[in-house]
Amino acid sequence: MKKIAILTSGGDAPGMNAAIRAAVRTAVTDGLEVLGIQRGYSGLLDEDLIDMDYSSVGGIMERGGTILRSSRCEEFRTAEGRARAGDILKARGINGLVVIGGEGSLSGANLLMEEQGIPVVGLPGTIDNDIALTDMCIGVDTCLNTCVETIQKLKDTASSHERAFVVEVMGRSSGYVALASGIAVGAEAIIVPEIPVNYEEIADKIWQERKRGKINCIIVVAEGASSAYTVARHVEHRIGYETRITILGHIQRGGSPTAFDRVLASRMGYTCVKALEEGDTGTMIALQSGKMKRIALGKVLSQKKSLDMELVEMATILS
Ligand code: F6P
């Protein structure tokens, strides 16, 4: 292995820069040439490549987003697009590719390896924490901290005005971000796509708590389950509780990564280069019980990460 390339793809996630830094510095230390592909698979198809060396990744660990930038690329979804990408990588003499991104990006990487024989290693980088066989993805911890900080502020206003706040968080079709942030702020209700929503039950619970003297109410809803508007309408309509909504949106994807994300991303960036060097390709680097593991991409992508039902039960008891 002489020359590798790195790209970030799909939704950005805090910590991607720390992963890029770790991968570049590990590869350079081991004598490899490193190219950065800008704007994900779109940039690959446009041959938007830059040379990277030890100092080119200085001072980026604390920065949110990705210095390589990102995109969602329609052309790469086609076999023709991937064939063109394979030709470009081969023509450039690139014999190892690191892909940092979510499920769609990792699926693309897997197909690139299967169809074009490009050795790839993937890193799970998404705030959604919806990738199977890894306990955490890069960016999740920072996203959760952003959610908690913001919801905590809303709680102040909820108490002052004796209102309910419905907060919609991201997560695509996963309820992880809603569940974890809801637990961390002591939300009265958490609505996730994995469990059918029962508005009557939620409204009744909130009403009982109100009668007991509780002066605020936070409901966290995952974007994949319902919308904040719908939930608020149900609550107001059923119990007449004055309700406001907040959609956290892309604020959850930005910001300087937490220490956890910096360490996780550094470990994953380091490990992916070692995996490429050792021919352990077609894999994703995962965090399992505190350890770095190399798991076949096909295995990762054939499974859906399920929500921890014990956490759901605990959240119900504690709220
Ligand atoms: O996958 C990350 C994510 O932020 C999801 O939580 C969300 O549904 C989606 O990306 C938003 O995508 P975009 O940035 O393209 O609007």
Say which CATH number the domain at 286 has: 3.40.50.450
Q: Do both 44 and 130 map to the same domain?
A: yes
Q: Do both 31 and 99 map to the same domain?
A: yes
| Total count of domains within the chain | 2
Best residue among 127, 170, 253 to mutate for probing ligand 1's pocket (most ligand atoms within 8 Å of CB) is 170
Q: Do both 219 and 125 map to the same domain?
A: no
Residue 261 a catalytic site member: no
Residue 316 lies in a domain: no
Cβ–ligand 1 distance for 253 under 6 Å, the answer yes
Residue 309 lies in a domain: no
Strands 189-191 and 217-222: parallel
Q: Do both 18 and 84 map to the same domain?
A: yes
Note the Cα 314 to chain centre separation in Å. Answer: 24
Rg from Cα positions in the chain: 21
Cβ–ligand 1 distance for 102 under 6 Å, the answer yes
Residue 233 lies in a domain: yes
Q: Do both 180 and 225 map to the same domain?
A: yes
Q: What is the pLDDT of residue 5?
A: 98
Residue 318 lies in a domain: no
CA dihedral 175, 177, 179, 182 (to 10 degrees): -140
Q: What is the pLDDT of residue 1?
A: 73
Q: Could you report the per-residue pLDDT of 253-263, keeping only the tens digit for each?
A: 999 999 999 99
Residue 314 lies in a domain: no
* Residue 14 predicted with pLDDT over 80: yes
Q: Who's near 181: CB < 8 A, 6+ residues apart?
A: 144, 147, 148, 151, 169, 187, 220
Residue 183 lies in a domain: yes
Q: Taking a C-beta distance cutoff of 8 angstroms, is the pair 169, 248 a contact?
A: yes
pTM: 0.97
Host H or E run for residue 41: helix 40-45
Q: What is the pLDDT of residue 291?
A: 98
Of the residues 253, 278, 309, the one at which a domain ends: 253
Considering the chain, what is the average pLDDT of its residues? 97
Q: Taking a C-beta distance cutoff of 8 angstroms, is the pair 124, 131 a contact?
A: yes
Q: Do both 167 and 233 map to the same domain?
A: yes
Q: Could you report the per-residue pLDDT of 81-121, keeping only the tens digit for each?
A: 999 999 999 999 999 999 999 999 999 999 999 999 999 99
The enclosing domain of 201 has a CATH number of 3.40.50.460
Q: Could you report the per-residue pLDDT of 159-180, keeping only the tens digit for each?
A: 999 999 999 999 999 999 999 9
Of the residues 224, 253, 282, the one at which a domain ends: 253
Q: What is the pLDDT of residue 67?
A: 98
Cβ–ligand 1 distance for 126 under 6 Å, the answer yes
Best residue among 107, 147, 172, 227 to mutate for probing ligand 1's pocket (most ligand atoms within 8 Å of CB) is 172
Q: Taking a C-beta distance cutoff of 8 angstroms, is the pair 256, 178 a contact?
A: no
Q: What is the pLDDT of residue 221?
A: 98
Residue 307 lies in a domain: no
Q: How far is the CA of 218 from the centre of ligand 1 (A)?
A: 23
Q: How far is the CA of 69 from the centre of ligand 1 (A)?
A: 15
Q: Do both 240 and 289 map to the same domain?
A: no
Q: Do both 11 and 57 map to the same domain?
A: yes
Q: How many Å apart are CA 125 and CA 113, to the nearest integer?
A: 19
Q: Do both 186 and 119 map to the same domain?
A: no
* Residue 30 predicted with pLDDT over 80: yes
Q: Do both 145 and 109 map to the same domain?
A: no
Backbone angle region of 47, left / alpha / beta, with phi > 0 → left and psi within -120 to 50 → alpha: left
Residue 295 lies in a domain: yes
Q: What is the rounded average pLDDT of the residues 281-286?
A: 98
Q: Do both 131 and 165 map to the same domain?
A: no
Tell me the residue type at 306: S
3 state DSSP class of 123: strand
Which residue range(s) make up the domain with 165? 140-253
Q: What is the rounded average pLDDT of the residues 60-73?
A: 98
Q: Do both 85 and 213 map to the same domain?
A: no
Nearest alpha carbon, ligand 1 atom 10: 11
Q: What is the pLDDT of residue 302?
A: 98
Q: How many Å apart are CA 76 and CA 191, to the nearest integer?
A: 34
